[in-house]
Structure 1
Amino acid sequence: MAVFQIVQNSEQNNRNDEILMYQMGRYINSNEAAWRIFSFPIHEREPAVQHLAVHLENGQRVYFTKDSARKIASEPPQNTTLTAFFPTLPNGSIRKDVTVCRRPYLLYVGQNKENFQRRKQGMPEEGHPEIMKTNAIGRVYTVHPNNAECFYLRMLLHEIRGPTNFTDLRTIDGYICHTYREACQRLGLLENDNHWELTLQEATLTASAEQIRELFAIILTTCNPSNPKQLWDSFKRNMSDDILYQIRQANPELTIEFNDDIFNETLIRLEDKCLAINNQTLVEIGMPAPQRNTFSVLNYEITKEKKLQRQ
């Protein structure tokens, strides 16, 4: 294919205008020409996709400036495509056995983008002739597993039918779970931790307590076990052996056995490892929180700063 161009002066002789060359050399066949002459649509999207927000309760994003901060702080946060769905169930706008993720085929976002409205066009829903449906689908934004509670909330949005608030999402068989992780466990959405139990059992045969704590910290921060508290209860004695031995050596005249103080010290050391690996506290991972005094917290911060200075 040859492309010819007329230039006005010698300064433009070496100009390489790729866009102009493409337009001059573009070939439109008879089918495309007829399609454009009759003004037929060039492209379309089928089915329609509605992006759905996912966030914890009162976790909506709030945008403000220096001038509008006071006004926004005095008003409740605006609805998202998640919070706007809850009122549609009590007022009868939608069937009560529909999950949040399936709502777009029955509802559409209103003009103010803060509420859902029942569709007026489409096919009648089976068994509910007053409700119209389309083939629109909902796409929930992805959540990283490190954002644990929001990650488990996203799982529940695909399973819980007819929730009217965030509490309904973690209510399983009439029991209100304390966390979304617990709700997922009760629904059987999480895999069991048998392989992690076998891993720790094998480690107890040859590894020291310090090494077992190191292994457990890696499992907690990088492997997302389903029930970390159960793993802790099963192996906390193995992870505390060295602490008990040190206390017995320092107090030979006393008969000391495992107790809550020893386990608390183990949790402190375990949390220090988790903070060093992934900057996560044990509470964020789903473990019991250790009782730290002011001195231990300050000592950890000083040690952390010294390590950074060495690096």
Structure 2
Amino acid sequence: MSGKTDHAINSGSGPYVYRMHGQNYHIACSLLPEECKLPKFCQLYIYDTDHEVDNRLNAHDSKKKKSTSHNSMGNPFSLEFLTVHELMGLLDFINPLVKQFRMARDLLESNPTERIRLKLIGTREKDGTQYNLLTTSEVAALIFLVDSYTVVEKDRLNYIRFNQPTLHVAPYRDLAEATQEGTEDAFAMGNRIIISSSFTGGIRYMQQNYLDAMTLRLFRYDIHYRTPPVEILSFHLQDKQLVVFKPSQRVTNVVSKPTIDASQFLAWMECNSYNEKVRELSYVEFPTQYVWNESDKVWTRRKTKTKSLGRINHVSPKSSDVYYLRIFLNKVEGPTCYEHLRTVNGTVYDSYKDACYALGLLDDDREYIYSIQETDHWATACFCRSLFVMLITSDSLSRPHHVFKETYNCHSDDVIHVREQEIGVKGLKQKPEAIYHLTLSYIEKSLLRCGLSLKQIPNMPLHDQKYIQDSCNMLIQYELNYDPSSLESEHQQLHSILNVEQKNIYDIVMNEFNNKKGGIFFLHGYGGTRKTFVWKTLSAAIRSKGEVVFNVASSGIATLLLSSGRTAHSRFHIPLNLNENSLCSITPGNDVVALLNKASLIIWDEAPMMHRHCFEAVDRTLRDIILPKNNDKPFGGKTIVFGGNFRQILPVIQRGNRSDIV
């Protein structure tokens, strides 16, 4: 609650007007008073209750000297003493809250060495918008020993903490394929587990159960006394259920566990296979009649009248088949297998996306096709390709391959001209299939700048390598797409005009690069000290040797000054919502991992502008994916140069307003 004196209503000598905002509440203090201080408020019910009347009288008498000594007792026959004594007895008899404080007193007296916490939990049985006198049944008190609770919590956290190197999770199909390929060591498989979503009170637990700061604000409203409860339902593609394992295990032992197929989603389809009555229920309706038994991994029929609502976990549209499976599960009833899930009106479709189209759950992208064709009348083919890439990255298209097929001529008009500019040849002749693959390659390059690839888009055609001289990993090829001789000339020119301090920085970083030891540096300098010039010289020096350099910055504007600059979030796939346990969204084994292993130098400009959780997330990720494993070295042993100006950070002024800070 906040409040202030409102002088607009009464600015004279009369009583002032105090305007309140928010909800009125009382912050309770410790159950015991501080040393050499008298008890007050709720402490009066618990501490030194043999002299409680004197304590209460002293707490309200500012003229008496405050002391914890009781050498001089109050007159037990005075009117004040008798009045307070009678009120105490009355409250002890009728007030349910006072009874809970007395119970805490008794427990404290019997366990004087223990730390006691009193927690009052109110349940509302009447109208929440109207004040009603509390009853004993509406107030429950939890008194528990803090030491015992913290011991249990510490053990749970220690188990997760000390098992970080030994707990991994991976899809079952990946493990099965590794077994077929003869892989026995599970160390390089899957991702690390930081704090699982099953840890009560953890950040992932709160997010999974829809509990964040916004929802906690709603606890004062009557809606939180309603039913039914909501149950989160998991699902997965065929053979894609997640398996938790220890890297020291053999892969064959992991995939042969008897509980490998015991997932909530598979158990639902199994229940449909032998029980015809439940086939009229969709997945989200299933918890209204059945309860998931976590210990036995089976669905059992609900025995109580209380019903639970099912909610399927959120999935991003970029997740491809998983996203369309989620759409399908909200409509389909009673499937017994994955093939049944893809069946619509007796036709088995190849993908869940096609099945969604058959049910009319997706649009046909016709409006986007018309938009690209209209744009082709006044814009270049390069612009049309950029528009197509923008629609892909914004998840606007349901079938990107269909849109590309319908608008191919709009994307390919200038391909020959662009190719002539690239190779310096006039009058270039290309076959139609070559133009087709060149068009795809230009779209691929635009997607790579956005952190995507044609390989990540379902059913999209890929360019043929015999028409374009590219390596398999287009991310690495894009970073190596420089002329070494031109860069060497540029490097010599830039190096020749470095001043003494800049040369010293250049020599230190290049020495670490040549020795391949890795190191972390910070270049501090205010605006105008030519930090960007140092970045440009280092980049030219290393790229001229055929090595990969990352130039990243904390903001998009700062990247414009860097050679092939990218934001740190884009380059390292840093999540937008970070916490102290976050990891970058990079899957082991993909092209991004290969690119990060290839990088020889990382330049991170405007570093002080970012939260420390960003650097911690990148550090944890690089330690996991950089080969050979360098878990004991920061950032996986990579050479990183941070830069920035701490003078640009606004000072922290406690309780300061905008004018104080700026």
TM-score, with structure 1 as normaliser: 0.77
Q: 1:86, CA displacement in angstroms?
A: 0.7
Judge conservation of contact 2:318–2:395 (CA < 8 Å) in 1. no
| Partner-residue secondary structure (3-state), 1:35 | helix
Q: Distance in 2 between matches of 1:91 and 1:68?
A: 36
- Out of 66, 74, 79, the position equivalent to 2:256 is 74
Tell me the alpha carbon deviations over residues 166-220 of structure 1, each in whole angstroms, 9 at most, x when there is no partner: 2221222222222221211121111232331232122101211111111111111
Code of the residue aligned with 1:57 in structure 2: it is Q
1:41-70 per-position Cα deviation (integer Å, ceiling 9, x unaligned): xx9662132210022222222111234454
Q: Look up the match of 2:136.
A: 34
CA distance in 2, matches of 1:260, 1:180: 31
Q: Could you tell me how far 1:107 is from its partner in structure 2?
A: 1.5
| Worse-superposed segment, 279-288 or 80-89 | 279-288
Say whether 1:217 aligns with 2:389: yes
Other-structure match for 1:279: 452
Question: Could you tell me which residue of structure 2 aligns to residue 304 of structure 1?
Answer: 479
Match of 1:185 in 2: 357
SS of alignment partner, residue 266 of structure 1: helix
Which residue of 2 is the match for residue 128 of structure 1? none
Which runs of no fewer than 5 residues in structure 1 stay unpaired? 123-133
1:143 to 281, 292, 315: 315
Deviation of 1:139 after TM superposition, in Å, equals: 1.0
User: Over the residues paired in the alignment, what is the CA RMSD in angstroms?
Assistant: 3.9
Structure 2 residues not aligned, in runs of 5+: 1-25, 48-94, 98-130, 142-223, 481-547, 552-562, 566-662
The answer to whether the 8 Å contact 2:96/2:135 transfers is no
1:291 and 2:474 aligned: no
Of the structure 1 ranges 235-244 and 112-121, higher mean CA displacement relative to structure 2 is found in: 112-121
Letter in 1 for 2:254: I
SS in structure 2 at match of 1:198? helix
Partner Cα distance (1:19, 1:272) in 2: 68
- Please, which moves more after superposition, 43-52 or 74-83? 43-52
Q: Which amino acid aligns with 1:34?
A: T
Distance 1:165 1:6 in 2: 62
Residue of structure 2 equivalent to 1:57: 238
Note the 1:1-311 alignment, pairs <5 A.
Answer: 7=33, 9-10=35-36, 28=97, 31-35=133-137, 46-68=227-249, 70=251, 71-75=253-257, 77-92=260-275, 94-110=277-293, 112-122=295-305, 135-245=307-417, 259-292=432-465, 295-297=469-471, 300=474, 301-304=476-479, 308-309=550-551, 310=563, 311=565
| C-alpha distance 65-298 of structure 1, shift in aligned 2 (>3 A) | closer
Mapped to 1, the partners of 2:400 and 2:34 lie a distance apart of 76
1:75 partner amino acid: K
Letter in 1 for 2:442: R
Higher relative contact order (CA 8 A, sep 6+): 1
Shift of 1:244: 4.0
Q: d(CA) in 2 for partners of 1:145 and 1:252?
A: 43
Deviation at 1:164, TM superposition (A): 0.9
Q: Is the 8 A contact 1:221 1:280 kept in 2?
A: no
Say which SS state the counterpart of residue 261 (structure 1) adopts: helix
Q: Percent identity?
A: 22
Separation in structure 2 between the aligned mates of residue 191 and residue 277 of structure 1, nearest angstrom: 25
**Against the structure 1 CA distance between its residues 18 and 185, is the aligned structure 2 distance closer, same or farther, given a 3 Å change threshold?**
farther
Query: What is the identity, as a one-letter code, of the residue corresponding to 1:215?
Result: L
CA apart distance, 1:88: 0.7
SS of match in other structure, 2:237: coil
The amino acid across from 1:191 in the alignment is D
Give the match for residue 126 of structure 1. Answer: none
How far apart are the structure 2 equivalents of 1:303 and 1:199?
30
Paired with 2:361 and 2:369, the residues of 1 have a C-alpha distance of: 19
Alpha-carbon distance, 1:154 to partner: 0.3
In our comparison, the structure showing a higher alpha carbon Rg is 2
Q: Per-residue displacement from partner, 1:249-294 (whole Å, max 9, x unpaired)?
A: 968597x66x233212211221221122132334425422332359
Q: Report if the CA contact (8 A) 1:221-1:278 is conserved.
A: no
Closer, same or farther: CA 230–38 of 1 in aligned 2, 3 Å? closer
Structure 2 CA distance, aligned partners of 1:7 and 1:53?
Answer: 49
Output the CA distance in 2 between the equivalents of 1:7 and 1:236.
78
Give SS of 1:296's match: coil
- SS at 2:265's partner residue? coil
Q: CA deviation at 1:224?
A: 2.9
- The farther-off stretch of 164-173 and 67-76 is 67-76
Q: How many residue pairs align between the two structures?
A: 290
Cα distance between partner residues in 2 of 1:112 and 1:206: 64
